[in-house]
Structure 1
Amino acid sequence: MEEFVVLVNPEDEVLGLMEKQQAHINGLLHRAFSVFLFNSKGEMLLQKRASGKYHSPNQWTNAVCSHPREDETYIDGARRRLQEELGIEANLSEKFNFIYKADVGGGLWEHELDYVFTGIYEGDFHLNQEEVEEVRFISIEDLDQEIAEHPEHFTAWFKIILEEYKHHF
């Protein structure tokens, strides 16, 4: 099944729809969301992208990042992807939004108006193996050290969003 993203201008006004991979080839601005989940110790949940993903396979990233569908709100899309990828539900709060552009390799670009949500989760996961290889919690300090030592282990967009997240908190 073809997936489409919602193309927008910087004011989040809809310009149309485009097949997801084509939008990533063309580097066109589209709607996206990112979810940062934490446990009660303040550790961040990371997911390792599945090896079969068409870009950034086997790289670590935040709990969930994806695209709302046409006529779907950002928060509803985030809740849907938590269920589809991790098999969980969590209370989410919108924290901020911003625009970024990241080269994800292979001639593909993430150019997104990204709404960032946070939540707390402690419980079991039911991973969709087509999307997620594994998950783990990590302290921000240890995460910063891992990124400094092995930036290639993390998605391009996660490193950008993480820095933006730190500026807001």
Structure 2
Amino acid sequence: MKEENVILVNEADEPIGLMPKMEAHEKAVLHRAFSVFIMNGKGETMLQQRARNKYHSPLLWTNTCCSHQRSGESNIEAGKRRLLEEMGFKTDLKELFSFIYKAPFDNGLTEHELDHVMVGYYEDFPKINPNEVADWKWMHPKDIKDDIAKKPEDYTAWFKIIFERFYNHLLEKTVRNEG
């Protein structure tokens, strides 16, 4: 299978080239990525546990799905594609915000991404792809926040960064709706 390229970007999210995914992670080059959070009507977030065979962060818990956009693919198209590939379902997605982060891994690779964070809603069971996902569960955001504080080693490096921003976004939305 041919290795996928990632879209290299500047800090304004303007494409500046393509690079093989592993090379971008070895060199810690800024590239475009996305993170999808799926929620249900109870306000819970769907988490996935990464498959054992993943080249980094195996068996750690993370957001519903995340990956990299392909050349010519919109953020929403990429999120929907990967959600179907990993979790086996389709739903509408809405982009919430984007930001840049850098997260080094124990294996010498580094995620340096301009991440587009999206949310969608789903009420059913996923049909997980066992090559990508070991397990899944629904959790309330407050419970996720508490669990990360107690057991940070159970979660991916990027999820801990992204979740803090997602959680704050949910709080701000709640305050705006109540105010």
The list of structure 1 runs, each at least 4 consecutive aligned residues, that deviate by more than 2 angstroms after superposition, is 166-169
- Secondary structure of the equivalent of 2:90? coil
Partner of 1:3: 4
Q: Percent identity?
A: 51
The answer to whether the aligner puts 1:153 opposite 2:154 as a matched pair is yes
Residue identity in the other structure for 1:147: I
Cα offset, 1:123, TM superposition: 1.1
| Bigger proportion of residues as strand | 1
TM-score in terms of structure 2 length: 0.92
- Describe the superposition over 1:63-112 as per-residue Cα deviations: whole angstroms up to 9, x where unpaired: 01100011111110000001000010011111111111111221111111
Partner of 2:95: 94
The answer to whether the aligner puts 1:109 opposite 2:110 as a matched pair is yes
8 Å CA contact 2:35, 2:117 repeated in 1: yes
Partner of 1:29: 30
How many residues align? The count is 169
Change (3 A) 1:56 1:36: same
Cα offset, 1:139, TM superposition: 1.0
Residue identity in the other structure for 1:37: I
Q: Distance in 2 between matches of 1:156 and 1:56?
A: 8
8 Å CA contact 1:4, 1:17 repeated in 2: yes
8 Å CA contact 1:29, 1:112 repeated in 2: yes
Partner of 2:174: none
Q: Distance in 2 between matches of 1:124 and 1:144?
A: 23
The answer to whether the aligner puts 1:131 opposite 2:132 as a matched pair is yes
Q: What is the Cα-based RMSD across aligned positions, in Å?
A: 0.9
8 Å CA contact 1:30, 1:112 repeated in 2: yes
Q: Distance in 2 between matches of 1:112 and 1:104?
A: 14
Say which one has the larger Rg. Answer: 2
In the alignment, structure 1 segments of 5+ residues that lack a partner are none
Q: In terms of mean alpha carbon deviation, does 159-168 or 93-102 score higher?
A: 159-168
Partner of 2:142: 141
- Describe the superposition over 1:44-81 as per-residue Cα deviations: whole angstroms up to 9, x where unpaired: 11000000000111000000110001111111000000
Q: Distance in 1 between matches of 2:74 and 2:39?
A: 23
Q: Distance in 1 between matches of 2:145 and 2:82?
A: 26
8 Å CA contact 1:5, 1:19 repeated in 2: yes
Cα offset, 1:145, TM superposition: 1.8
Residue identity in the other structure for 2:57: S
8 Å CA contact 2:93, 2:120 repeated in 1: yes
Residue identity in the other structure for 2:74: T
The answer to whether the aligner puts 1:80 opposite 2:76 as a matched pair is no
8 Å CA contact 1:2, 1:19 repeated in 2: yes
- Secondary structure of the equivalent of 1:105? coil
Cα offset, 1:41, TM superposition: 0.6
TM-score in terms of structure 1 length: 0.97
